[in-house]
Structure 1
Amino acid sequence: MDDTDVMMLRRAMDRTTDELPPLPDLTPVAVRLGRKRRARARIATVGGVFGTVTAATLGFSLLSGGDPGGAAPAAPPAVFPSAYHTPVQIRPSPGQTAPEKLPEGERTRREQFQQQVSALLDELLPASVTDIRPVAGEVSDYRITVDGTAFPVKLSIRPAEGERLQGCLNSPQKKTTCEVVGLEGNRTAQVWAMPVNKTETRGAMVVTAYGRSHVLFSVGPSENVSAPVTPAQLLAVVRDQRFTELLHYADEYPVQRKGEPVKGG
């Protein structure tokens, strides 16, 4: 892993839960695939988010670097219906730049993508995760809740055509481990576990490539509590076909610009 990936992980995890608003009361409300699902914060079902929505209807604009006269990006794939996941509002840190101003159609498309990611993580992460929410205005940032504690999640899918994954090196002195595993489609992934912020608090991360994109998926600690999701559990999400479908969409219609810095990571 190169310095860029290390920096992304550490920055993604350096915000504490003091910045988060109070979480709503959670109650068990759903059974999916014949088994009781975890308690969730269910607010209201938004059919338009997960239905078949045409780009022409929403007037989506192309990301920079595209042909302004070409076809507009499609709506994110509906991996399955789900209730609306209320976004988390986080106060900007001192000196942090304001969120990028986007055309209404593009902002809506990114919000739809975050809702699809939230729904998928809600389904695939361990049952101990009782809430998953996107961070408003930050397409790669999410928050999960386990035992009443919130933890940062990063899913960065950035255009990086021709970029290779960096070395996967274990560092016993730094208590860092990395394993290269195979994925379908002759792809590989690097599965990382490492201390974050403190030697006692550990984070988990999977780094891979899909098409023309670099993919980083991580869960970080919350102050003195290590990440509640293991590297193996992250890898199980990455191997799910529905996760691959979302990667395919984000590779075809990027939700991050090429070379765009990822706020918080």
Structure 2
Amino acid sequence: MDDVTMLRRAMDRTADELPPLPDLAPVAVRLGHRRRARARFAVAGGVFGTATAAVLGVSLFPGGSAGVAVPAAPPAAFPSAYHPPVEVRPTPGQPAPEEVPAAEAERRDEFQQQVSALLDELLPVSVTEVRPVAGAVSDYRITAGGTVFPVKLSVRPAPGESLPVCADVPAKRTTCETAVLGGGRTAHVYGTAVNRAETLGAMVVTRYGQSQALLSVDPAATASAPVTPGQLLAVVRDPRFTELLEYADEHPVQRKGAPVLGG
């Protein structure tokens, strides 16, 4: 698969079919919540919240056998409020969501909660809502200026794969820069037009261990993503984000070779 095809598959989703997110708090209230969360994080440091420290028990991966232990939960980003999942109707013609045992579904939900909490902390304050998509471990929705934007965090097992070639494609308003991360790792940082020449999205692709990781923010139908490629790179550079990648690499939340809708 060439680089442009990979990029388009990661970022070609439009917000036309997204349902509105109910019960959104006013911006001023949400910003207050975010500032208090930052203050709690400064005091709490790396202390785990009660919910994230709780043991979820044993579950089976699809195709696994009895007695295979799955970690209780991903690392806690910081003590945070619950982020209610949003329900999104499946797109006609797309594969049905993967069915997993209840304990495994709970573990994936907890992973999404930790990702949501960290994105809520690290994304610009103009982002006033972060919510996971129910039953889709790699999908999230953020709200900025009253508009909903799709976010994807895909961490899939990909042993032996390398990062795609990083190159600008002026005809598609696509730029790519290579950034150096800690531990000798690198990332490709993309900005590109999606759906229309006027609507821009951002994406960072990197590797951790044996996994390929992709974090992207797509534009809405008539608005560019509220996060720049540089701001998205700042999220990927954060040590807590690296901890989540480490967890997902050691204890995958996506199957090897599983299709990732939109990426």
- CA offsets 1:184-219 (integer angstroms, 9 cap, x no match): 000000000111011111110000000000001000
Query: What is the letter of the counterpart of residue 261 of structure 2?
Result: K
CA distance in 2, matches of 1:76, 1:217: 18
> Measured at CA, do residues 140 and 195 of structure 1 come closer, stay the same or move farther in structure 2, by a change above 3 Å?
same
**Distance in 2 (alpha carbons) for counterparts of 1:90 and 1:33:** 30
Within 2, Cα distance between the matches of 1:247 and 1:132?
19
1:32 maps to which residue? 37
For residue 71 of structure 1, what is the amino acid of its counterpart?
Answer: A
Deviations 1:103-161 (A, max 9, x none): 00100000000000000000000000000000111100000000100000010000001
- Secondary structure, in 3 states, of the residue corresponding to 1:107? helix
1:61 maps to amino acid: L
2:59·2:69 contact (CA, 8 Å) conserved in 1?
no
Superposed CA deviations along residues 171-191 of structure 1, whole A, max 9, x for unmatched, are 222221100010000000000
Q: Percent identity?
A: 57
Consecutive unaligned residues of structure 2, counting only runs of 5 or more, are 41-48
CA–CA distance in structure 1, aligned partners of residues 171 and 255 of structure 2: 36
Q: Shift in Å at residue 5 of structure 1?
A: 2.4
1:59 matched to 2:64? The reply is: no
The 1:4/1:105 distance shift into structure 2, 3 A limit, reads farther
Secondary structure of 1:225's match? coil
AA aligned opposite 2:3? D
C-alpha contact (below 8 Å) 2:20/2:148 kept by paired residues: no
How many Å separate the matches in 2 of 1:72 and 1:93? 31
Unaligned runs of 5+ in 1: 36-46
3-state SS of the aligned residue for 2:97?
coil
Q: Who is 1:2 aligned against?
A: 3
Give the distance between the partners of 1:166 and 1:157, measured in 2 at CA.
15
Q: Counterpart of 2:141 in structure 1: which amino acid?
A: R
Pairing 1:1-265 to 2, within 5 Å after superposition: 2-3=3-4, 5-11=6-12, 13-14=13-14, 16-27=15-26, 28=29, 30=33, 31-34=36-39, 49-50=51-52, 52-55=53-56, 58-64=57-63, 68-265=66-263
Tell me if the contact between 2:108 and 2:137 (Cα under 8 Å) persists in the aligned partners: yes
CA distance in 1 between counterparts of 2:155 and 2:102 reads: 21
Q: Distance in 2 between matches of 1:104 and 1:59?
A: 10
What SS does structure 1 have at the residue aligned with 2:244? helix
Specify the alignment match of 1:42 in structure 2. none
For these two proteins, the number of residue pairs brought into alignment is 248
Q: Distance in 1 between matches of 2:256 and 2:147?
A: 33
Deviation at 1:78, TM superposition (A): 1.3
User: 1:70–1:4: structure 2 CA closer, same or farther, 3 Å change rule?
Assistant: farther
SS at match of 1:95: coil
In 1, distance between residues paired with 2:76 and 2:91? Answer: 34
**Residues 163-172 or 106-115, more deviating:** 163-172
Partner of residue 46, structure 2: none
Q: 1:17 to 1:118 in 2, by over 3 A?
A: farther
Distance 1:70 1:101 in 2: 18
Pairwise CA distance, 1:48: 5.7
Q: CA deviation at 1:238?
A: 0.3
TM-score, normalised by the number of residues in structure 2: 0.88
> How far is 1:93 from its partner?
1.4
State the alpha-carbon separation in 2 of the partners of residues 68 and 211 from structure 1.
27
| Alignment check: 8 A CA contact 1:182 1:188 kept | yes
The answer (yes or no) to whether the contact 1:158–1:254 under 8 Å persists in 2 is yes
SS in 2 for 1:19: coil
Cα pair distance change 1:7/1:73, threshold 3 Å: farther
State TM-score, norm by structure 1: 0.87
Measured after TM superposition, the shift of residue 7 of structure 1 is: 3.6
Cα deviation code 1:47-73 (max 9, x no counterpart): 6642x1235xx3322354x66544323
